Structure 1
Amino acid sequence: MTSPETFNGWLGHDSKSVQGNLRWESFAPKPFAETDVDIKISHCGICGSDLHTLRSGWGPTHYPICVGHEIVGHVVRVGNVASSRLQIGDRVGVGAQAFSCQKEDCDECSSGLQQYCKGFVGTYNGKYEDSGYWSMGGYADHARVPAAFAVKIPKTLKSEDAAPMMCGGITVYAPLKNNGAGPGKRVGIVGLGGLGHFGVLFAKALGCEQVVAISRGRNKEKDARAMGATEYIATAEDENWDKKHAKSLDLIVSTVSSPDLPLAEYLSLLRTNGQFIQVGAPEDKLPAFAAFALIGQGCKLGGSLIGSPKEIEDMLAFAAEKGIKPWVQTQPMEEANKGVVEMDKGSARYRIVLVNEEEAKARGL
């Protein structure tokens, strides 16, 4: 099996493409390097980052753009250097990062923190400096990426479940693991969308003493408890929720991408020396808050960016071991515009995965 000279995908040509105006067109992939692999895509999740990028919400997007960085498929071409890591036929996943400098004198790359490398290239809307090519993502039939950022998928994980883990899953798994989530810990997850639902699933599987889902309304409470939440806070409906639950949590992971969040009140939920980790990325600034919201709690405010390839491997192995099953809705790749619009409306429960049906059927997926 080989890969074609040109790939096909859903391309956005301007900021209005997020309204369901993507067009299925051919595009030239990056020049093939011996460190690269070509992947025939079977599944690709729709991530909130796709929407921010399509609308140029985080800054100017390089159009035309093919988004999608929750990719699962099979390797159909392998460079000579890449062959030491991957083989034709391997089922692999690609997340939000496609490249880092990988130099020995890079503190981030040499310590397994490639996602913080100054040479970061995103799986889409990122520029490869050596070729000048702008990366293209997974709403497509094929993807070409450096093999270092393609991760093997455990056999027991379904492709439709593994796909949204490549970004949505690792974005919350990494800060949970890196900030001590586990037995005896009380963890809060702010937002119960695609990221937040993964937060509840992983916090529960990590054995946290309490898993508190925090959302505006109570419409998702039943779902949250089915996912493993032991407590639920509805900030728009529960009177004095911040005082009632003050100093009750060791760690909060915030997945919301709205700048309109009651940050000071969230910080008040932390126990002394607790941590608040922001992973959602609003298109505007976070709200201002008084310094005493930190000082008075003795707490820490931080952030976390996706995860390294090694962290993604660890997450996938953990998900396979624990039988973690994300809540996904599958749609044919032909319905990408429909999926983007539904995701933008917030109607997904809780992640949409696009499926190249012919490829999935051929692989028995």
Structure 2
Amino acid sequence: MPTDYKFQGWLGLNKDSAKGQMVWRDYDPKPFEETDVDIKISHCGICGSDIHTLRSGWAPTLYPTVVGHEIVGTAVRVGSKVEGGLKVGDRVGVGAQSLSCLKPDCEQCSNGIENYCQNHQTITYNSKYPDGSKSYGGYGDYWRGPSHFVFKIPDALPSDVAAPMLCGGVTAFSPLLHHKAGPGKRVGIIGIGGLGHFGIMGAKVLGVDKIVAISRTSAKKADALKMGADDFIATEEDKGWNRKHRQSLDIIISTVSSPKMPLQQYLSLLRVGGAFVQIGAPEDNLPSFNGFAILGKRCSISGSSIGSPKEIRYMLDLFAEKGVHTWVNRIPMKDANRAIVDMEAGKARYRTVLVNENHASRL
């Protein structure tokens, strides 16, 4: 197997990288192990996490960094101990997580929720492997990492459609599964963006009774209805919306993370025993709320983060079967700096994918 290729990508060197100042350079990936896969990248989705990381929004970033964790391409090197029957030439993808402890006595890893492992996690970029080497993401030509978190892409999903599902898609889909969204349940999705549009489509294929899209204005109403929403609430336009729709939803998935969001009013939409799930990851604190908003209805507030390998595989197969297609904008990899600036400006409708034109001829 040829291994003479170089690892090159868009490196963020400091906080200004988020302003479209990444630079294209060589970098050294983790040392290859027999459990690893090298992927020739054809497509990489842009996630909000990329922007947060480039500007050190959540925490100080381990510069230099290559972001991107919605990666699809071709396996070009496969170790002798890989999992899942992966082989050279397979079309594969990797999401936001590259490693967990994977120990038999780990409560999370042994129960198929590796994304909540409390012993060790290596995130696909801006993280460290146990040997101390850094993880680098998908804004580049190649990616290397452990096979446990590499997935075959179903034939029915084009690569540009599949890539954003590996993080954005499963981040919205996982809490729907956990809270048993399906027939008999009514679901609200707050924020009609990259995560929210997956939330609507995921709830639709799970067969819930009703989907309510919730946004500040009605600008995205037509799109939300096309995605599968049955109703729409514009919180800045619909007077008395919280009273009109009170106690109407079983599950609310919040993809927004503004400290100004009307959390108290959102909670009033929950029915008895309902669940409010936060998946938007904030740089600031979430707003406070009155405890009686949940005490009187035995409601819960929880969070959810990415998805497990098992959930990702199930989601990919289900979305392929049901014909779910990401609403995607395709941008050449060479224009990554422009793409992240446009993403931050809210121009994506609804996910942006970088296309590596040198590697994407048939993918």
TM-score, length-scaled by structure 1: 0.97
Matching residue of 2:30: 30
Q: Secondary structure at the match of 1:306?
A: coil
Q: Equivalent residues in 2 for 1:276-295 (5 A)?
A: 276-295=276-295
* Long gaps (5+) in structure 2: none
CA contact (8 A) 1:259 1:283 kept: no
Residue aligning to 1:335: 335
CA contact (8 A) 1:85 1:147 kept: no
1:160-199 residue pairs with structure 2 within 5 A?
160-199=160-199
Residue 205 of structure 1, CA deviation? 1.4
Q: Contact 1:3/1:38 (CA < 8 Å) preserved in 2?
A: no
Q: Could you say what secondary structure the match of 2:344 adopts?
A: helix
Matched residue, 2:127? 126
**In 2, are the aligned partners of 1:123 and 1:137 still within 8 Å (CA)?**
yes
* 1:167-207 deviation digits (Å, cap 9, x = unpaired): 00000111111111111211000000000001011111111
% identical aligned pairs: 58
Which runs of 5 or more structure 1 residues have no equivalent in the other structure? none
CA distance in 2 between counterparts of 1:307 and 1:58 reads 20
1:243-268 alpha-carbon deviations (Å, 9 max, x no partner): 11000000000111322211111110
Is the 8 Å Cα contact of residues 29 and 134 (structure 2) preserved in structure 1?
no
Q: 1:84 deviation in Å?
A: 6.1
Alignment of 1:75-94 (within 5 A): 75-82=75-82, 85-94=85-94
Distance in structure 2 (CA, Å) of the matches to 1:252 and 1:76: 41
Residues 100 and 244 of structure 1, relative CA distance in 2, 3 Å threshold:
same
SS in 2 for 1:357: coil
Give every structure 1 segment of 4 or more consecutive aligned residues whose post-TM-superposition deviation is greater than 4 Å: none
The one-letter amino acid paired with 1:120 is Q
Distance, in Å, in 2 between the alignment partners of 1:146 and 1:268 is 44
What residue identity is the alignment partner of 1:168? G
**Does the CA-based 8 Å contact 1:5-1:28 persist in structure 2?**
no
Counterpart Cα distance in 2 of 1:258 and 1:2: 48
**1:1-365 matches, cutoff 5 A:** 2-4=2-4, 6-82=6-82, 85-118=85-118, 119-130=120-131, 132-361=132-361, 364-365=362-363
Counterpart Cα distance in 1 of 2:87 and 2:219? 46
- Alpha carbons 1:6, 1:29 under 8 Å: kept: no
2:86 corresponds to which letter in structure 1?
L
Distance in 2 between the 1:154 and 1:257 partners?
32
What RMSD, in angstroms, separates the aligned Cα atoms of the two structures? 1.0
Whether the aligned pair in 2 keeps the contact of 1:268 and 1:297 (CA below 8 Å) is no
Which range is displaced more, 45-54 or 203-212? 203-212
Matched residue SS, 1:73 = strand
